[in-house]
């Protein structure tokens, strides 16, 4: 049975001096929040512009983890998989790491979100995938230039030095100024591979 999503009765019971009533109120509130998490993720899946919900999903913590894992298990939509994986990792669930690594390796639109989240979580094994993706991006499109910037920032957060070939490439006159700027002093001072 789907619980009524009205928290008022649970909050009223929580004010009771009876520990049994307080425990029941907490159980009721948990059931309501779990159902809300499921409905929220369901709406996220069906939404045309997912970013509004995506930005806020992490606020619901443990109540969206299982529904997001179900999304990963059942969808083939790369955007939905990638966005779900970023939330799961932000909530400490590392099972989504392979999805984010795949997004870095192959996505045109989720590179920044995936790289940022992996760097924030200090997933050091992501650095090799980021470096390989940097080698495949060119300077001809704005999307690639932004992706290069995101990957450089993520690598710096991971403390990973850039290989010499990438430093040379990103310092070359052909490299856009935006890329040269993101090399930053700290990259150039780190030992090279």
The verdict on residue 168 lying in a domain is: yes
Look at the block and give the residue holding tokens 């970023």.
86
- DSSP label at residue 84: H
Query: How high is the pLDDT of residue 46?
Result: 94
What would the pLDDT profile of 77-130 be if each residue is shown by its tens digit? 999 999 999 999 999 999 999 999 999 999 888 999 999 999 999 999 999 999
What is the Cα–Cα distance from 111 to 18, expressed in whole angstroms? Answer: 52
State the angle between helix axes of 126-136 and 164-171 in degrees (0 to 180), rounded to the nearest 10. Answer: 40
Query: How high is the pLDDT of residue 103?
Result: 95
The answer to whether residues 52 and 137 belong to one domain is no
Residues sharing a CB contact under 8 Å with residue 79, sequence separation 6 or more, in sequence order: 50, 109, 110
- Domain of residue 154 covers 97-193
Residues sharing a CB contact under 8 Å with residue 117, sequence separation 6 or more, in sequence order: 85, 86, 89, 90, 100
The answer to whether residues 62 and 118 belong to one domain is no
Q: Is the dihedral of CA 154, 157, 163, 165 positive or negative?
A: positive
The answer to whether residues 106 and 172 belong to one domain is yes
Of 35, 51, 46, 133, give the one whose Cα is nearest residue 87: 51
What is the Cα–Cα distance from 129 to 148, expressed in whole angstroms? Answer: 13
Query: How high is the pLDDT of residue 184?
Result: 64
The answer to whether residues 182 and 113 belong to one domain is yes
Query: How high is the pLDDT of residue 91?
Result: 96
Counts for the chain of helices (H) and strands (E), in that order:
11, 0
What is the number of domains present in the chain?
2
The answer to whether residues 48 and 135 belong to one domain is no
Residues sharing a CB contact under 8 Å with residue 126, sequence separation 6 or more, in sequence order: 97, 100, 101, 104, 115, 118, 119, 154, 158
Query: How high is the pLDDT of residue 158?
Result: 95
Query: How high is the pLDDT of residue 137?
Result: 94
The answer to whether residues 125 and 186 belong to one domain is yes
Q: Which residue stretches of the chain have pLDDT < 50?
A: none
The answer to whether residues 183 and 113 belong to one domain is yes
The answer to whether residues 53 and 109 belong to one domain is no
Final residue before a domain boundary, out of 47, 76, 105: 76
């Amino acid at each position: 049975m789907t619980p009524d999503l009205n928290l008022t009765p649970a909050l009223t019971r929580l004010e009771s001096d009876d520990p049994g009533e307080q425990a029941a109120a907490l159980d009721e509130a948990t059931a309501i929040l779990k159902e809300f998490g499921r409905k929220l993720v369901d709406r996220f899946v069906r939404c045309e512009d997912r970013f509004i919900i995506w930005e806020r999903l992490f606020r619901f913590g443990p109540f969206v983890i299982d529904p997001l894992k179900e999304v990963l298990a059942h969808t083939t939509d790369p955007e939905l998989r990638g966005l779900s994986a970023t939330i799961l990792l932000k909530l400490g669930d590392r099972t989504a790491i392979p999805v984010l690594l795949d997004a870095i390796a192959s996505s045109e639109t989720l590179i920044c979100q995936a790289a940022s989240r992996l760097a924030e979580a200090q997933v050091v094994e992501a650095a090799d995938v980021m470096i390989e993706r940097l080698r495949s991006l060119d300077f001809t499109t704005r999307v690639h230039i932004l992706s290069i910037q995101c990957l450089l920032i993520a690598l710096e957060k991971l403390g990973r030095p850039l290989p010499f070939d990438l430093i040379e490439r990103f310092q070359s006159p052909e490299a856009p100024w935006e890329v040269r700027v993101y090399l930053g002093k700290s990259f150039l001072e780190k030992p090279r591979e």
